[in-house]
């Protein structure tokens, strides 16, 4: 099989890239390890920056998002019972869109189907070859049959545990990592959200987040020790702990119900440099991981896709290689800024087991500054709604 761009991974990054390339007349083959149903069963964050919203529209995958997504003009922050609001319009002149990542992925699959795109699911033993030469290729096994895909470029969109990043020689690769000493326990429930806007709650017992997917579907998180398991958190215990961490008046109106999904995710910051090696380009979680505070994961994948799609379209349709030479530096400049924001929000809102009273004092001072300074809130709004790309 031959194509122009082989895309490893059919998550949101791989599908969005494929969609933008196909719309510009560039041929792709998406190579995904799992089944489509499996990919669509993963639950991730649900806040889209304005740039991501526009990119999905440009990719002709934004119609349902525009119908069913919820525009949010601000979010709330609390510290115990003290609450203040970050106004996104006032601070940054734009809102965010609350729309689940699972739905984004579903819409991208539908858009790819409408274009007749080639997506190979259930691919095993995926291996990348001759990435530093003129004619790279990908080998894999599918339904027991070996397959070879020859291409001009390979896009590594296969997430944190994929094969693309390790294909960059260790002598070239630099990795930067910070692991946080706690996880997030997330619950999805068929209950009306407790608040019209997201609540980021700092509390002495640990961080909590009240989020949503729709007017009848809520998503809540609490910070838990990494040693905890999902079985340690029956629904009653989860709701009781969440109530303690939310402001009392909010907790009083919380509607609880059975958890539809419950999982614990560790928190990590990770960057791999460079994001290009020869004819391989890393994109999305394959190159970087952010902690979920601030919901930057999917949005960073989207900005990578923006830079990479533009670069590959120029290379494949006009022989213009300037964009692909620029890709790594251009994408990384934005990646590090989103890293900084996710790290800052994580450090501000969580209870760290090793924090001294001094560091707790720093958190309180920063929250007090945000509460009282329109400039501080505007800076947060600028980052939360998404730096330009």
Shortest Cβ 176–ligand PHB spacing (Å): 22
Nearer to ligand APR, 7 or 367 (CB): 7
Nearer to ligand APR, 112 or 191 (CB): 112
Instruction: Work out what residue 276 binds among ligand APR, ligand PHB, none; the CB cut-off runs from 5 to 8 Å by kind.
Output: none
Tell me which residues in 116-175 interact with ligand APR (CB under 6 A). Answer: 123, 126, 157-159, 161-163
Instruction: Work out what residue 247 binds among ligand APR, ligand PHB, none; the CB cut-off runs from 5 to 8 Å by kind.
Output: none
Residue nearest to ligand PHB (CB): 211
Nearer to ligand APR, 36 or 85 (CB): 36
Does residue 294 touch ligand APR according to CB under 6 A?
no
Catalytic residue at 353? no
- Provide the binding-site residues for ligand PHB, judged by CB under 6 A: 45-47, 198, 209, 211, 219, 292-295
- Cα distance between residue 65 and residue 108, in whole Å: 11
Q: At what angle do helices 50-58 and 297-318 cross, to 10 degrees?
A: 40
Shortest Cβ 95–ligand PHB spacing (Å): 14
- 356 Cβ contact list (under 8 Å, min separation 6): none
Does residue 39 touch ligand APR according to CB under 6 A?
yes
Strand duo 174-189 + 259-273: pairing: antiparallel
Count of CB atoms within 10 A of residue 332's CB? 21
- Cα distance between residue 386 and residue 370, in whole Å: 18
Nearer to ligand PHB, 136 or 297 (CB): 297
Could you give the C-alpha distances from 233 to 228, 259, 262, 271, in angstroms and in order?
8, 11, 9, 32
Q: Give which of 66, 65, 87, 68 is closest to 76, Cα–Cα.
A: 87
Could you give the C-alpha distances from 315 to 243, 330, 331, 373, 389, in angstroms and in order?
54, 16, 17, 46, 20
**Secondary structure of residue 323 in the 3-state scheme:** helix
Shortest Cβ 190–ligand PHB spacing (Å): 15
Catalytic residue at 243? no
Instruction: Work out what residue 219 binds among ligand PHB, ligand APR, none; the CB cut-off runs from 5 to 8 Å by kind.
Output: ligand PHB
Given 13, 92, 167, 339, the residue binding ligand APR (CB under 6 A): 13
Tell me which residues in 84-113 interact with ligand APR (CB under 6 A). Answer: 101
Catalytic residue at 384? yes
Q: Which of 203, 296, 306, 350 is catalytic?
A: 296
Catalytic residue at 292? yes
Nearer to ligand PHB, 212 or 316 (CB): 212
Chain centroid, CA 155 distance in Å: 18
- Cα distance between residue 65 and residue 74, in whole Å: 19
Q: Which of 12, 180, 292, 327 is catalytic?
A: 292
Shortest Cβ 60–ligand PHB spacing (Å): 25
Q: Per-residue DSSP letters for 133-202?
A: SSS-EEEEEETTEEEEEE-SEEEE---TTSSHHHHS-TTT-EEEEEEEEEEEEEEEESS--SSSS-EEEE
295, two tokens: 């919901």
Please say whether the beta carbons of 301 and 285 come within 8 A.
yes
The catalytic residues are 72, 200, 292, 296, 384
Which residues contribute to the site for ligand APR (CB under 6 A)?
8-14, 31-34, 39, 44, 101, 123, 126, 157-159, 161-163, 284-285, 297-298, 301
């Amino acid at each position: 099989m031959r194509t122009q761009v082989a895309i490893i991974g059919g998550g949101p990054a791989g599908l969005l890239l494929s969609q933008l390339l196909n719309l510009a007349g560039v041929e792709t083959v998406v190579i995904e390890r799992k089944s489509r149903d499996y990919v669509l069963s993963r639950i991730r964050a649900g806040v889209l920056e304005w740039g991501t919203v526009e990119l999905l529209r440009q990719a002709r995958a934004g119609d349902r998002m525009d119908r069913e997504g919820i525009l949010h003009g601000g979010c709330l922050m609390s510290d115990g019972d003290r609450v203040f609001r970050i106004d996104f319009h006032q601070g940054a002149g734009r809102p965010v869109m609350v729309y689940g990542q699972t739905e984004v992925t579903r819409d991208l699959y539908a858009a790819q189907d409408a274009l007749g795109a080639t997506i190979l699911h259930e691919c095993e033993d995926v291996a990348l070859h001759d990435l530093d030469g003129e004619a790279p290729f990908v080998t894999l096994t599918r339904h027991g049959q070996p397959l070879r895909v020859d291409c001009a470029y390979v896009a590594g969109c296969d997430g944190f545990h994929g094969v693309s990043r390790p294909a960059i020689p260790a002598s070239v690769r630099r990795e930067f990592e910070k692991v946080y000493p706690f996880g997030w326990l997330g619950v999805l429930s068929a209950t009306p959200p407790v608040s019209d806007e997201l609540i980021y709650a700092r509390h002495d017992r640990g961080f909590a987040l009240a989020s949503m997917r729709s007017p009848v579907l809520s998503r809540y998180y609490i910070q838990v020790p990494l040693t905890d398991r999902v079985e340690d958190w029956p629904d009653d215990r989860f709701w009781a702990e969440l109530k303690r961490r939310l402001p009392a008046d909010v907790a009083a109106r919380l509607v609880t119900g059975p958890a539809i999904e419950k999982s614990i995710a560790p928190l990590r910051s990770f960057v791999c440099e460079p994001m290009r090696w020869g004819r391989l380009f890393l994109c999305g979680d394959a190159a970087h991981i952010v902690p979920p505070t601030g919901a930057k994961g999917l949005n960073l994948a989207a900005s990578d896709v923006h830079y990479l799609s533009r670069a590959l379209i120029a290379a494949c349709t006009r022989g213009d290689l300037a964009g692909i030479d620029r890709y790594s530096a251009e994408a990384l400049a934005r990646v590090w800024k989103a890293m900084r924001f996710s790290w800052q929000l994580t450090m501000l809102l969580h209870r760290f087991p090793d924090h001294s009273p001094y560091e707790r004092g720093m958190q309180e001072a920063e929250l007090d500054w945000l509460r009282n300074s329109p400039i501080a809130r505007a800076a947060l709004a600028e980052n939360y709604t998404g730096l330009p790309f």
